[in-house]
């Protein structure tokens, strides 16, 4: 990878799902699960996030090499491997912590996010409700939440919820896989 890495921060329901998808993309490194976008100061705990009272979203933050994979390609994968049309919910996970969100790091990312959403909208019957906001403070989740799918593939949640997302990724975006 080049030294011209950029950073991205995305949330689409449980961070384990988004992490598992993004980790498989070529040109992506340093994928960290965590929390962002809340109103409560300080480093929130997983339990506090799950209460829905802090306003934080479960997100991942990662580096990518734009000479290998573009931000636009990453966003296309992101917006088609979760449901960006459901407000504060992904499957059985409900609450603002599970919202679909793109936290942009600069104006170029913001503009690309707006454009990709406009392009991807035609594939959905309902309107895309993904939040687009400037990146706030990112808080890293504890070690047990990192690399979750890779470390726990036999766990029920991984087999039932994450496996289909990874399968969809492989069928739609094999050309982007590491």
Residue numbers annotated as active site = 14
Which DSSP string corresponds to 153-175?
TTSHHIIIIIHHHHHHHHHH-GG
Contact 140, 32 (CB under 8 A): yes
| 9 CB burial (10 A radius; 0-12, 13-18, 19+) | buried
Closest-CA residue to 17 (of 142, 131, 138, 155): 155
DSSP for residue 27: T
Closest-CA residue to 145 (of 25, 28, 19): 19
Report the phi/psi class of residue 95: left, alpha or beta, with left for phi > 0 and alpha for psi in -120 to 50: left
Residue 92: count of CB within 10 angstroms of its CB: 11
């Amino acid at each position: 990878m080049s030294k011209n890495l950029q950073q991205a921060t995305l949330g689409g329901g449980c961070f384990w799902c988004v992490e598992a998808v993004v980790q498989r993309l070529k040109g992506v490194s340093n994928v960290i699960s965590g929390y962002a976008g809340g109103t409560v100061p300080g480093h929130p705990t997983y339990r506090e996030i799950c209460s829905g009272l802090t306003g934080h979203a479960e997100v991942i933050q990662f580096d990518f090499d734009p000479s290998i994979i573009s931000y636009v390609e990453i966003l296309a994968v992101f917006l088609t491997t979760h449901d960006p049309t459901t407000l504060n919910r992904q499957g059985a996970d409900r609450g603002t912590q599970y919202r679909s969100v793109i936290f942009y790091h600069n104006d170029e990312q913001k503009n690309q996010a707006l454009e990709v959403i406009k392009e991807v909208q035609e594939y959905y019957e309902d309107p895309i409700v993904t939040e687009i906001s400037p990146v706030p403070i990112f808080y890293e989740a504890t070690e047990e939440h990192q690399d979750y799918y890779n470390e726990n593939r036999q766990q029920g949640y991984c087999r039932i919820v994450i496996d289909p997302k990874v399968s969809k990724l492989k069928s739609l975006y094999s050309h982007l896989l590491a």
